[in-house]
């Protein structure tokens, strides 16, 4: 196994056994320039303000204050920006009302809860694959993991599926696009390969 002058491991040769060799090919001649530094992130949190029966008028929360994602998935700023767009639209729609803030929080939390569904699932399901991750695993966790793995396999074979998964991963499309029957049939076919 290649090692740097500091004796550190450069590249796990097991990478050659990955389903595609893309990462292995890209980094096999690379040299590690410094030590690996860990960033500790304690937990992902989704606070369900949409479930509150009452909320103070004139107050609103968004961004990490509502939902904080593991940064490795790169979604927090994107979700905060999407929430800002929702708020902008809701304010514009209510501008001519006598009290534009009346009921604003309820409408805002309902809409943003729906847009958080996709990034939350994208982040939480893979994080729960690690057996020591604490928290309440979704009831359909095992099945979700199998589906996600089959989708990844299919994406490696079909550029159109890869584009779709990239669009969902980048929050350009909701996860509901995966409910397409034809796509579902193809994913199930990959799952049956074992
Ligand atoms: C290492 C890392 C990498 C990330 N990479 C990505 C990425 O690639 N893509 C992506 O979309 N997201 C990424 N994120 C997530 C993203 O940074 C956050 O989701 C986003 O910044 C949340 O915005 P926010 O306004 O809710 O909170 P913040 O950006 O945290 O802003 C809150 C502000 O409030 C201030 N503040 C706190 N307490 C007080 C107080 N009592 N009084 C006054 N001010 C206060 C803080 O100083 C801060 O400036 C990453 C996060 C981390 C930690």
Kindly report, residue by residue over 57-85, the tens digit of the pLDDT. Answer: 899 999 999 999 999 888 999 999 999 99
Q: Which atom of ligand 1 is nearest to the CA of 68?
A: 19
Task: Give the distance (Å) from ligand 1 centre to CA of residue 32.
Answer: 29
Task: Give the distance (Å) from ligand 1 centre to CA of residue 109.
Answer: 19
The structure's pTM equals 0.80
Structure tokens at 191: 């799952």
- Classify 194 as helix, strand or coil: coil
- Classify 176 as helix, strand or coil: helix
The residue ranges of every structural domain in the chain are: 1-37, 45-116, 141-192
The CA distance from 47 to 64, in Å, is 9
Look at the block and give the residue holding tokens 């989704």.
Answer: 46
Are 175 and 119 a contacting pair, CB within 8 Å? Answer: no
Give Dmax (Cα) for the chain. 71
Structure tokens at 140: 């359909």
Would you say residue 138 has pLDDT above 90?
Answer: no
């Amino acid at each position: 196994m290649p090692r740097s002058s500091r004796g550190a491991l450069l590249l796990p040769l097991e990478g050659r056994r990955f389903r595609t060799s893309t990462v292995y090919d890209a980094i096999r001649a690379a040299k590690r320039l410094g030590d690996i530094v860990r960033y500790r992130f304690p937990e992902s949190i989704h606070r369900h303000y949409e479930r509150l029966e009452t909320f103070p008028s004139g107050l609103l929360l968004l961004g990490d204050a509502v939902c904080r994602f593991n940064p490795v998935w790169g979604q927090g700023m994107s979700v905060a920006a999407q929430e800002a767009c929702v708020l902008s639209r809701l304010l514009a729609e209510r501008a001519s009302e006598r009290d534009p803030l009346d009921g604003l929080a309820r409408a805002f939390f309902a809409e943003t809860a729906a847009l958080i569904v996709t990034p939350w699932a994208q982040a939480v399901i893979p994080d729960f694959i690690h057996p020591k991750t604490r928290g309440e695993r979704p009831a359909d966790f095992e099945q979700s993991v199998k589906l996600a793995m089959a989708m990844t396999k299919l994406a490696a074979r079909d550029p159109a599926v890869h584009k779709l998964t990239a669009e969902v991963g980048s929050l350009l499309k909701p996860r509901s696009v995966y409910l397409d029957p034809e796509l579902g049939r193809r994913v199930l076919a990959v799952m049956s390969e074992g």
